[in-house]
């Protein structure tokens, strides 16, 4: 981690200059302790926008609408509800997404095209538009509204997840903040991960899109709770330039620093999601080194992190290297058995493809901590990647099977 990038204590999506947010209770969300269920996020000045969306073939009409508007470059604010995902509801879904955006645009004095519209919650239920019509105008915006917004997007999350980072460059401070929700997965069909990021850096739109994709690929796309991906997943980033300075584009001296700060923030928020995974008692990271390519390293890291047998071994604090290597072997990445090395929380337990005699009690003890690391060196090339997962407990099964629609 560069010392140039600093986390800001208490930071959130409204920490960067020129962002306001607010939330209210519309009466949509019925199952969470914190009942805020509608939120607005707003850049007080025009901005560039970028986003990555779910690749699921079944997508919420809200995602379809927001993608169009982000691609057009017109988004400056977002309206979001939790409790109902607005997906698989037929014709109504598109109309409701449009109207929800229009209501928010009117309330903010913006054009419809300036609103991103996002939803998270139960699949197959129509949005209660009467409640939404009543609620949107009641949302009050404030520069301190980031926390309320973070709470309003929660579904089965046990706590709001928010952070901000800053760096100094060219005599001014640039801040990037964000909030994220999901995917607790305790409720069915509520796997959605939504991340809202804002920055006061002035960023050229094409580079902003590249930067958000790059950071998502190293963070939000490298976490796994149970392998199910959602119909609504979205990472949205607005950049309003309120910090001043020259516009950052791909050729800028500042571009790599901005990318680093964005990736650090995204990684932090992504790990928060995994830590809050349903039934999870531990976060574990899978670091792959020495792969033929970064892409192969990513495949390997994700496969090991999502293996049910690895996840149950982590839950049981079992340094079960056979499960790890077997998962590695089926990942599709090139692997040569006699070159493999494996480290559990930095203790080498396999070298040259053979188990190293290790003091088991001490490795079990290491695995009992809330964060466990598996580092695998393939010794084939320079590809590297890290994925994060959570353990698989009886709690996950109980909660996901006890619920009925």
Q: What angle do CA 17, 19, 21 make, to 5 degrees?
A: 145
Least Å from the CB of residue 89 to a second copy? 8
370 binds a second copy (CB under 8 A): no
**From 261, 313, 341, 385, residue interacting with a second copy (rule: CB under 8 A):** 313
Footprint on residues 170-189 left by a second copy (CB under 8 A): 185, 188-189
Q: Which two tokens stand for residue 317?
A: 């604090």
Burial label, 337 (beta-carbon count in 10 A; 0-12, 13-18, 19+): exposed
The H or E element spanning position 178 is strand 172-181
**Cα 364 to Cα 264: distance, rounded to the nearest angstrom:** 30
**Cα 114 to Cα 97: distance, rounded to the nearest angstrom:** 14
Query: Are the C-beta atoms of residues 83 and 121 closer than 8 Å to each other?
Result: yes
**From 58, 111, 348, 356, residue interacting with a second copy (rule: CB under 8 A):** 58
Least Å from the CB of residue 99 to a second copy? 20
> How far lies 36's CA from each of 22, 104, 139, in Å?
10, 16, 11
Quick one: 32 or 185, whose CB is closer to a second copy? Answer: 185
402 binds a second copy (CB under 8 A): yes
Span near a second copy by CB under 8 A; candidates 2-10, 23-31, 149-157, 335-343: 335-343
400 binds a second copy (CB under 8 A): yes
Footprint on residues 63-122 left by a second copy (CB under 8 A): 88-90, 122
Reference 153, options 193, 189, 123; nearest CA is 193
* Sign of the alpha-carbon dihedral angle for 124, 128, 132, 133: positive
**Cα 12 to Cα 22: distance, rounded to the nearest angstrom:** 13
Contacts of 314 (CB under 8 A, 6+ apart): 282, 284, 367, 372, 389, 391, 392
374 binds a second copy (CB under 8 A): no
**From 8, 98, 205, 309, residue interacting with a second copy (rule: CB under 8 A):** 309
**From 44, 112, 229, 255, residue interacting with a second copy (rule: CB under 8 A):** 229
Tell how strand 283-291 and strand 371-377 pair up: parallel
137 binds a second copy (CB under 8 A): no
**x/- map, 207-226, a second copy, by CB under 8 A:** -------------------x
The dihedral over CA atoms of 261, 198, 273, 320, expressed in degrees to the nearest 10, equals: -20
Footprint on residues 267-286 left by a second copy (CB under 8 A): none
Q: Which of 14, 120, 192, 224 is catalytic?
A: 192
Q: Which two tokens stand for residue 58?
A: 């079944």
Quick one: 338 or 346, whose CB is closer to a second copy? Answer: 338
130 binds a second copy (CB under 8 A): no
359 binds a second copy (CB under 8 A): no
Quick one: 119 or 240, whose CB is closer to a second copy? Answer: 119
Least Å from the CB of residue 294 to a second copy? 18
Q: Is 192 a catalytic residue?
A: yes
3-state secondary structure of 258: helix
Least Å from the CB of residue 319 to a second copy? 7
Catalytic residue set: 192
Kindly list the residues in this chain that would bind a second copy in the complex (CB under 8 A): 55-59, 88-90, 122-124, 185, 188-189, 191, 226-231, 306-309, 312-313, 315-323, 325-331, 333-335, 337-338, 352-355, 360, 364, 392-394, 396-398, 400-405
């Amino acid at each position: 981690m560069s010392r140039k990038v600093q986390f800001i204590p208490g930071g959130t999506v409204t920490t960067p200059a020129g962002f306001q947010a607010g939330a209210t209770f519309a009466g949509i969300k019925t199952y969470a302790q914190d009942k805020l269920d509608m939120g607005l996020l707003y850049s007080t000045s025009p901005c560039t926008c970028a986003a990555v969306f779910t690749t699921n073939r079944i997508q919420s009409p809200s995602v379809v609408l927001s993608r169009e508007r982000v691609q057009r470059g017109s988004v400056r604010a977002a309206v979001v509800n939790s409790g109902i995902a607005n997906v698989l509801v037929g014709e109504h879904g598109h109309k409701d997404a449009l109207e929800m955006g229009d209501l928010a645009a009117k309330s903010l004095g913006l054009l419809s095209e300036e609103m991103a519209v996002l939803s998270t919650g139960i699949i197959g239920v129509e949005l209660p538009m009467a409640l939404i019509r009543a609620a949107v105008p009641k949302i009050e915006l404030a520069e301190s509204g980031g926390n309320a917004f973070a709470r309003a997007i929660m579904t089965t999350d046990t706590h709001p997840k928010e952070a901000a980072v800053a760096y100094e460059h060219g005599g001014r401070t640039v801040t990037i903040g964000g909030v994220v929700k999901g995917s607790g997965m305790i409720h069915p069909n509520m796997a959605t991960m939504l991340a809202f990021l804002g920055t006061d850096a002035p960023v050229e739109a094409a580079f902003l899109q590249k930067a958000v994709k790059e950071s998502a690929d190293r963070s939000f796309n490298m976490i796994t709770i149970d392998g199910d991906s959602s119909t609504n997943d979205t990472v949205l980033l607005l950049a309003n330039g309120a910090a001043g300075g020259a516009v950052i584009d791909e050729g800028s001296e500042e571009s790599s620093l901005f990318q680093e700060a964005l990736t650090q923030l995204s990684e932090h928020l992504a790990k928060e999601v995994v830590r809050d995974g349903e039934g999870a008692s531990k976060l574990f990271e899978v670091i792959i080194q020495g792969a033929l390519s970064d892409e192969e390293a990513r495949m390997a890291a994700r496969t090991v992190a999502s293996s049910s047998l690895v996840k149950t071994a982590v839950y049981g604090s079992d340094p079960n290297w056979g499960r790890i290597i077997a998962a590695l072997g089926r990942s599709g990445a090139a692997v040569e058995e006699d070159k493999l090395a494996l480290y559990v929380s930095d203790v080498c337990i396999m070298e040259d493809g053979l188990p190293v005699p290790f003091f088991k009690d001490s490795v079990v003890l290491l695995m009992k901590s809330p964060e466990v690391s598996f580092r695998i060196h393939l010794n084939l090339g320079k590809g590297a990647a890290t994925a994060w997962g959570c353990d698989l407990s009886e709690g996950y099964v109980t909660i996901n099977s006890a619920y009925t629609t």
